[in-house]
């Protein structure tokens, strides 16, 4: 049976979880889903610098939020490489030039499926088709879903 990993993270990339927020998410996951989620599939990830919260193979297209054109993968990858430093993570100061003539910051692009940037996230592995969208009641939380 295939599984999905959901990653919940603060939408503001530099914010990180405030004290108690990640605990609240983990508690809510356990309370709402009971035995359907094994405790060892819930993990809290913390990094000193901003990381790419990716959706793995679910990422099919990256688009400009202004004109909708696709951003070529090699152009996006070059910007990602230029912006990332091993010790400090992403600076999020690099922009990707679009065919419409505008420069779009990496965290301002439209990722399909959704991806994000954050210093911390809670991941949970569930059986496919198990929906955790109720966690999006928190307006500051973004989420990514990837197949594993």
Q: Does 66 bind Zn ion (CB under 5 A)?
A: yes
- HEC string of 57-81 equals HHCCEEECCCCCCECCHHHHHHHHH
Nearest one of 96, 99, 89 to 67, comparing CA atoms: 99
Q: Which of 64, 71, 106, 109 binds Zn ion (CB under 5 A)?
A: 64
Residues 76, 138: Cα–Cα separation, whole Å: 30
Q: Which two tokens stand for residue 119?
A: 């210093």
**Site mask for Zn ion (CB under 5 A), range 8-47, x = bound:** ----------------------------------------
What region does 73 belong to: left with phi over 0, alpha with psi -120 to 50, or beta?
A: alpha
Q: Which two tokens stand for residue 95?
A: 């922009």
Q: Which stretch binds Zn ion (CB under 5 A): 25-33, 75-83, 92-100, 106-114?
A: 92-100
Helix, strand, or coil (residue 34): helix
Shortest distance, position 105 Cβ to Zn ion, whole Å:
13
Applying CB under 5 A, the site for Zn ion has a residue count of 6
- In angstroms, how far is the first alpha carbon of the chain from the final one? 10
Q: Which stretch binds Zn ion (CB under 5 A): 59-67, 70-78, 106-114, 140-148?
A: 59-67
Decide whether 71 or 126 has the Cβ nearer to Zn ion. Answer: 71
Q: Which stretch binds Zn ion (CB under 5 A): 44-52, 53-61, 96-104, 110-118?
A: 96-104
Q: Which DSSP letter does residue 109 get?
A: S
Q: Which of 18, 32, 67, 91 binds Zn ion (CB under 5 A)?
A: 67
Shortest distance, position 10 Cβ to Zn ion, whole Å:
27
């Amino acid at each position: 049976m295939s599984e999905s990993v959901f990653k919940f993270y603060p939408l503001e990339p530099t914010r990180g979880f405030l004290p108690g927020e990640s605990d609240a998410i983990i508690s809510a996951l356990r309370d709402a889903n009971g035995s359907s989620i094994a405790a060892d599939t819930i993990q809290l990830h913390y990094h000193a610098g901003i990381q790419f919260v990716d959706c793995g193979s679910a990422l099919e297209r990256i688009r400009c939020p202004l004109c909708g054109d696709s951003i070529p993968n090699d152009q996006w990858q070059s910007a990602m490489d230029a912006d990332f430093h091993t010790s400090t993570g992403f600076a999020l100061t690099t922009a990707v030039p679009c065919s419409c003539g505008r420069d779009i910051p990496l965290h301002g692009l439209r990722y399909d499926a959704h991806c994000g940037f954050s210093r911390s996230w809670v991941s949970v592995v569930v059986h496919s088709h198990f929906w955790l969208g109720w966690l999006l009641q928190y307006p500051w939380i973004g989420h990514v879903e990837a197949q594993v």
